[in-house]
């Protein structure tokens, strides 16, 4: 296994038996956190991150770091097409739901994705939300780093502002993995 950190992007390649490579991307630098879920006032908070696929292949998972689980919750992670020029979420391509518990605090939470092909250099996004009364935090990158993941931008929204806001110089700490052909060329 080799690792090369280029352009603030993590690349890790593992060669499985079927002549494919598992390409990891994103940034795992942990800083402050952002709350996802229902607040005591009833406002629902959502979070998201855009990313550029470094290779064509099957998107296998997205991992997010949860430093705090205030109230356990079901969580839904949606994967979308994304228009990077207009900052517009497109068609929802996949949705994964899992339970977030107190046992997930200070751990990377894995959202396993089934049968989703992504194309090299295309932009995608994920959004995460709580599906009930729960509330948990997901890690952002350190604020001291200027645009820590240049291949994407952070998004936050609420039930009072569902279109949300994009934050160009901020990113969530996350890691994705794409299973691609062994002869794949990186971005």
Q: Can you give the pLDDT at residue 146?
A: 78
Domains identified in the chain and CATH numbers: 2-181 (2.60.120)
**Cβ atoms 168, 156 nearer than 8 A:** no
Q: Can you give the pLDDT at residue 186?
A: 53
Sequence-distant (6+) residues with CB within 8 A of 123 are 50, 51, 52, 53, 81, 82, 83, 84, 152
**Cβ atoms 73, 100 nearer than 8 A:** yes
Residue carrying the six token digits 């996802």: 36
pLDDT > 60? residue 145: yes
Eight-class DSSP state of 134: -
Q: Can you give the pLDDT at residue 142?
A: 86
Report how many helices (DSSP H) and strands (DSSP E) the chain contains, helices first: 0, 16
Residue carrying the six token digits 């009364």: 133
Sequence-distant (6+) residues with CB within 8 A of 93 are 79, 80, 81, 116, 124
CA of residue 163 relative to chain centroid, distance? 18
User: Comparing C-alpha atoms, which of 183, 184, 122 is closest to residue 152?
Assistant: 122
Q: Can you give the pLDDT at residue 139?
A: 93
The model's confidence at residue 187, banded by pLDDT at 50, 70 and 90, is low
CA R_g for the chain: 16
pLDDT digits (tens, 9 = 90+) for 16-48: 557 788 999 999 889 999 999 999 999 999 999
pLDDT digits (tens, 9 = 90+) for 75-93: 999 999 999 999 999 999 9
Tell me the average pLDDT across 113-122. 95
pLDDT > 70? residue 10: no
pLDDT > 60? residue 161: yes
């Amino acid at each position: 296994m080799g690792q090369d950190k280029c352009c603030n992007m993590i690349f890790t390649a593992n060669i499985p038996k079927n002549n494919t490579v598992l390409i990891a991307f994103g940034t795992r630098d942990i800083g402050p956190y952002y709350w996802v879920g229902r607040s005591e006032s009833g406002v629902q908070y959502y979070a998201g991150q855009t990313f550029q696929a470094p290779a064509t292949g099957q998107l296998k998972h997205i991992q997010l770091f949860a430093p705090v689980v205030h109230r356990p919750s079901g969580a839904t992670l949606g994967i979308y097409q994304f228009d990077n020029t207009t900052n517009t979420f497109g068609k929802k391509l996949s949705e994964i739901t899992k339970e977030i518990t107190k046992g997930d605090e200070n751990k990377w939470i894995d959202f396993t994705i089934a049968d989703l092909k992504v194309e090299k250099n295309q932009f995608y996004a994920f959004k995460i939300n709580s599906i009930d009364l729960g509330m948990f935090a997901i890690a952002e990158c350190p604020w001291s780093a200027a645009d820590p993941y240049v291949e994407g931008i952070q998004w936050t929204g609420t039930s009072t502002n569902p279109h949300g806001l994009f934050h160009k110089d901020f990113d969530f700490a996350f890691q994705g993995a794409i299973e691609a052909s062994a002869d794949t060329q990186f971005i």
